[in-house]
Structure 1
Amino acid sequence: MGRRVQDGRAGHLMLRSVAGRLFLSYLGVVAIGLLVAAITISALVVRYENDVLRLRLQELSAPLLTAMQTGLRNGQQPREVIDALKDQAASADARLLVIANNRRVLVDSENSLANQTLPPPTQGTFGQFIDGSDQWLFVQQAFRPAAAGLNPAIIVVARPRAAFGDALRALLPSLLVAGVVAAGFALIVAGLLSRTITRPLRELVAGARRFARGEYRTRVPVAGPSEVAELGGAFNEMAGEIERARDSEQAFLADISHELRTPLTSIQGFAQAIADGEAAGEAAPPAAKIIQRESRRLIRMVEGLLEVAKLQAGGPELARERVEVTALVSGAVAALEVQAHEAGVTLDVTTDGLPAVRGDPDKLAQLFTNLIDNAVKHSPRGASVAVRGAREDGQAVVRVRDAGSGLPGGAQTRLFRRFYRGENAQRDGAGLGLAIAQAIAIAHGGAITARNIDEGGAEFTVRLPSA
C-alpha cells in the first residue's frame, strides 16, 4: 500500500514538473511519429506486395491461360480442357476455373466451387476469393469463341495467397527491432533535452532562493533556450536593480543619520544647558536662537526629503499648465539677488528665445531656484554666475554656470544624490537642492546634466520639452 502511494506521488510530481512534462511530451511525439511511420511503411509494403503478387500471378498464369484459350477454341469442353491441364496447374500450385458471364462457376479443377458465384475482380483482371479457410488470388481472361455453337465464358487461374509468402510478416521483426532502437534513442534524447531546458530553470530557482535569503549579489547563468536565457538575463537585471536600490537605501540611512545627528546634538546640548541653568540670564536668548535655527534646519531637511520622495514616487499629480520659462528664471534670479549680493556674487542672465513648457510652475520655479542657489554657494566673492536660456531641438534649455573650482573627479555620479555637498561649498546646506532639482526635471520629462568647463567652474544644463 505504501509503495503504491509513493509511486502515485512520484508520478504526480513528474506530471507537475517541467522536466517530466517535457520528457513525456517528447516521448509522446516520438511514439506518434513511430506509429505513423509504422502505418505508412505497412501500407507501402502491402501496396508493393500486391503489385509484386499481381506480376508473379500474371507470369505464372500466362501459359495456363493460353493453353485454356487454345483448348476451348479447338472445340474441347471446359471440363476436358481443365482435366488436360490439371497436372500442369498442380505443378504451378495453381487452380483452374471456367465461369459464365454472370460469374457462376461452370468448372473448378478443385471441384469445390462448382455452381457457386465467384466475386468480381477488384483491380482490372485481378481479384481474390475465399474457399474454406484459404485465400486465393486470381487472374481472369474473357473467352470469345470464333466458331459457332460455343458459348462465351471467362477462364480463371487462381493461386493460394500463402504460396506467395508474406512480405509484411517477414519485415515485422526488423520493424520491431527498429522501433525498439528508436524508442531507446528517444528516451536518451528526451532525457538530455529535458535536462538541457530545465537545468537553467533549476539554477534560476536556486538563485532566487539565495537572493531571498539576503545574498543580494547572486546572479544566475544566462544559458539554455532563448526564452530561458532571456528569463535568466531579466533575473540578473532585477537582482542588480534591487542590489543597487538596497545599497542606495543603506547609504541614505547612513547619510540621514549623519545629517540629523549634528542639529539634534546642538538642540540637545543647548536644551540641556537651559534645563541645568547653565544658559540662564543673558546666555538664554542665544541658546534659544541656536535651538530655533537647528530646528528650522531639521524641518527644511525633512521637508526636502519628503519632496524628493514624492517626486520620485510619481505623486501627487503635478499641475500641467503652460509656463513661460523666461518668467520662472527671472523670478528665481530676483529671489536670490539679496543672497548673491551678500555673497559678493553677481548674476548675469540672458534668456531670450526660451520657449514655453507645460508643467507645474511652483515646482519648476523651485528647480531653477535650487540650481542658481547652488551656483552662488560654489562661487567665490567677486565672481559672476551666468544664466543662459535658449531653444534647442524643440526643447527649453537653461544653463547655469558658476565660477567655482569645478566638479571633483567622479562627482558627476554623486551630484544628485541626497545629502551630497561639494567640498568647496561656501555655506552650509542640507545637500538636497540638486536631488530635488533632478526629481522635478525628470517628473516633467526632462533631464539635468553637469560638466566642468575649460574656463573654470561647473555648468548645469536643464532640458525640458517645449509646450
Structure 2
Amino acid sequence: MLRNREIRLVLLFMCTISLAMLAAAAFFSPAAVVLVLMTSILLIGCSHLFTRLRYQEIEKLSGYLRQISGGDYSLDVRDNREGEFSILKNTIYKVTVMLSEQSTLLHKDKIHLTDAISDISHQLKAPLTSMMVMADLLDDAKLPEAKRTEFTRNIRIQLERLDWLVSSLLKLSKIDADTVQFKKDQVRVTKLIEKALQPVLIPIDIKEQTVSVTGDDNVSFVGDLNWTTEAVINILKNGVEHTQAGGTIAISFSENPLFTEIRIEDNGKGISKEEIPHIFKRFYKGKSAGEGSSGIGLSLAHSIITKQNGDIEVQSELHKGTRFRIRFYKQVV
C-alpha cells in the first residue's frame, strides 16, 4: 500500500500537520500536546485502516477481472449498496453480462461458420469428384467419340453449377455482412416479372409449361430491381423444377395502402407440412429436390426480400401445388 505515491504524500501531509499542531499545542500545556497527539494518531490510524479496506476491495475487483479475462462470467460482485465502490461493482457486472452475451454470440458464429464451411465443402465435393472421374476417362484414347462428347458436356454442366453456387454464396455472404447497398427505386412489378422470366423461358418451353401473368401495370414498390429480380428468378426456378411437364405457373400481383404483393403459384409436386418451416434455410434440400439442387436458391431469395423491408411466405399441399407470397411494405410499422 505504501508503494503508492499518493498514499505516501497523504501520510506526509498528515504527519506534517500533526507535528505543526503539536508544536502549537506545546505553547499552551502538556495536556494539549497529549490531546493533539492522541487525536493525530487516531486520525492517521483511521485513514490507514480506511485506505487498507479500500485496497482490499480493489484487490477483490482485480481478482474478479482476472477471472473474467480468463473466460469465467459466472461471478456476481453486486452488493446493492450506496457508494462509489457499489456503483463500480454494478458497472463491472453490467460489462461482464455484456461480455458473456458477446462470447455466446461469437461461439454461435463459430459453430455457424463451421457448419457453413462443411455444407459448402459437401456442395463442392460432388461436382468436383464427378469432373475428376470424367476427366480421367477422357484421357483414354480408345474412348468412343459419343462418350467423349457426353463427358465433355457433363463437365460443362458441372462447371456451370459450380459457377452458380460460388456466385450465390458470394451474394449471400455480402448480404449477411450488410455490405450490399440496396437501392430504393420505384420498381414497376410488370418490369420485374418480365426481367425475371427471361432466364427460365427455355426450361419452361422444354417442359411445355404454361405461364400466366395478371396484375395492374401501375403496381410498384420501393426496392432494388436487380436484386429483387435475382430473388424472383430463384422462386420461379423452384416452381419450374417441381412442376410436371404441361403444368402451369401463375404470377399475379396487387397493391394496397400497406404493401405490394406478388404471388407465384404452381400446380406441381407441392411441399409437405414438415418441410415448409425449413425451405428457406441455407443448404436445405427437400425430399423432392432434384439431383443438381444446392438448397441455396430459396435462402438467397428470402435474404434479399427481407433485407428490403419485405417478407415471403409459402403455402403448399402435396400433389396440389405451391404458392409463394412476397410482400413489400410501404413503411416500417
What TM-score do you get using the length of structure 2 for normalisation?
0.71
Letter paired with 1:405: I
How far off is 1:374 after superposition? Answer: 2.3
- Does 1:221 find its partner at 2:85? no
2:280 equivalent in structure 1: 415
2:309 to 440, 446, 451: 446
| Structure 2 residue matching 1:276: 3-state secondary structure | coil
User: How many residue pairs get matched?
Assistant: 309
1:405 to 249, 257, 271: 271
CA distance, structure 1, for counterparts of residue 327 and residue 145 of structure 2:
55
* Inter-CA distance 336–273: structure 2 relative to 1 (3 Å threshold): closer
User: Is the CA contact (8 Å cut-off) linking 1:391 and 1:397 kept in structure 2?
Assistant: yes
- Does 1:258 find its partner at 2:122? yes
Residue correspondence of structure 1 range 331-350 to structure 2 within 5 A: 331-333=195-197, 336=200, 339-340=203-204
How far off is 1:400 after superposition? Answer: 4.4
* Inter-CA distance 286–337: structure 2 relative to 1 (3 Å threshold): closer
2:103 equivalent in structure 1: 239
How far off is 1:448 after superposition? Answer: 3.7
How far off is 1:365 after superposition? Answer: 0.9
| Structure 1 residue matching 2:139: 3-state secondary structure | helix
2:137 to 273, 285, 292: 273
2:166 to 274, 289, 302: 302
CA distance, structure 1, for counterparts of residue 152 and residue 142 of structure 2:
13
User: Is the CA contact (8 Å cut-off) linking 1:406 and 1:452 kept in structure 2?
Assistant: no
Letter paired with 2:281: F
Query: Per chain length, whose mean CA-contact separation is higher, i.e. which structure has more relative contact order (CA < 8 Å, sep 6+)?
Result: 2
User: Is the CA contact (8 Å cut-off) linking 1:333 and 1:347 kept in structure 2?
Assistant: no
CA distance, structure 1, for counterparts of residue 266 and residue 91 of structure 2:
51
| Structure 1 residue matching 2:260: 3-state secondary structure | strand
* Inter-CA distance 452–187: structure 2 relative to 1 (3 Å threshold): farther
User: Is the CA contact (8 Å cut-off) linking 2:212 and 2:249 kept in structure 1?
Assistant: yes
Letter paired with 1:223: D
How far off is 1:412 after superposition? Answer: 3.6
* Inter-CA distance 386–193: structure 2 relative to 1 (3 Å threshold): farther
Task: State the superposition RMSD in angstroms.
Answer: 4.4
User: Is the CA contact (8 Å cut-off) linking 2:306 and 2:312 kept in structure 1?
Assistant: no
Residue correspondence of structure 1 range 51-62 to structure 2 within 5 A: none
| Structure 1 residue matching 2:280: 3-state secondary structure | coil
How far off is 1:232 after superposition? Answer: 1.6
* Inter-CA distance 185–278: structure 2 relative to 1 (3 Å threshold): farther
- Does 1:358 find its partner at 2:211? no
1:3 equivalent in structure 2: none
CA distance, structure 2, for counterparts of residue 181 and residue 191 of structure 1:
15
Letter paired with 2:153: K
Segments of structure 1 that go 5 or more residues without pairing to the other structure are 1-6, 16-20, 43-132, 135-160, 208-218
CA distance, structure 1, for counterparts of residue 35 and residue 256 of structure 2:
83
User: Is the CA contact (8 Å cut-off) linking 2:192 and 2:229 kept in structure 1?
Assistant: yes
Superimposed CA distance per residue, residues 216-267 of structure 1 (whole angstroms, 9 cap, x where no aligned partner): xxx6236333321222222222222222222222112212221112111221
How far off is 1:407 after superposition? Answer: 5.0
Segments of structure 2 that go 5 or more residues without pairing to the other structure are 78-88
Superimposed CA distance per residue, residues 122-172 of structure 1 (whole angstroms, 9 cap, x where no aligned partner): xxxxxxxxxxx99xxxxxxxxxxxxxxxxxxxxxxxxxx87xx96x66754
CA distance, structure 2, for counterparts of residue 449 and residue 181 of structure 1:
73
User: Is the CA contact (8 Å cut-off) linking 2:258 and 2:330 kept in structure 1?
Assistant: yes
- Does 1:428 find its partner at 2:281? no
CA distance, structure 2, for counterparts of residue 448 and residue 459 of structure 1:
14
1:49 equivalent in structure 2: none
- Does 1:367 find its partner at 2:231? yes
* Inter-CA distance 226–180: structure 2 relative to 1 (3 Å threshold): same
Q: Structure 1 residues 183-192 or 265-274, which shifts more?
A: 183-192
* Inter-CA distance 325–269: structure 2 relative to 1 (3 Å threshold): same
Residue correspondence of structure 1 range 61-460 to structure 2 within 5 A: 172=36, 175-176=39-40, 178-179=42-43, 182-183=46-47, 185-187=49-51, 189-207=53-71, 220-221=73-74, 223-224=76-77, 225-315=89-179, 317-333=181-197, 336=200, 339-340=203-204, 351-352=215-216, 356-378=220-242, 387=251, 389-391=253-255, 394-400=258-264, 404-408=270-274, 412=277, 415-417=280-282, 419-426=283-290, 428-443=292-307, 445-450=308-313, 460=324
2:85 equivalent in structure 1: none
* Inter-CA distance 297–453: structure 2 relative to 1 (3 Å threshold): closer
CA distance, structure 1, for counterparts of residue 99 and residue 279 of structure 2:
27
* Rg larger for: 1
How far off is 1:288 after superposition? Answer: 1.5
Superimposed CA distance per residue, residues 280-322 of structure 1 (whole angstroms, 9 cap, x where no aligned partner): 3332211221122112212222222222233334446444432
How far off is 1:199 after superposition? Answer: 3.8
Query: Percent of aligned positions with the same letter in both sequences?
Result: 19
User: Is the CA contact (8 Å cut-off) linking 1:200 and 1:223 kept in structure 2?
Assistant: no
CA distance, structure 2, for counterparts of residue 229 and residue 389 of structure 1:
53
Q: Structure 1 residues 431-440 or 387-396, which shifts more?
A: 387-396
What TM-score do you get using the length of structure 1 for normalisation?
0.53
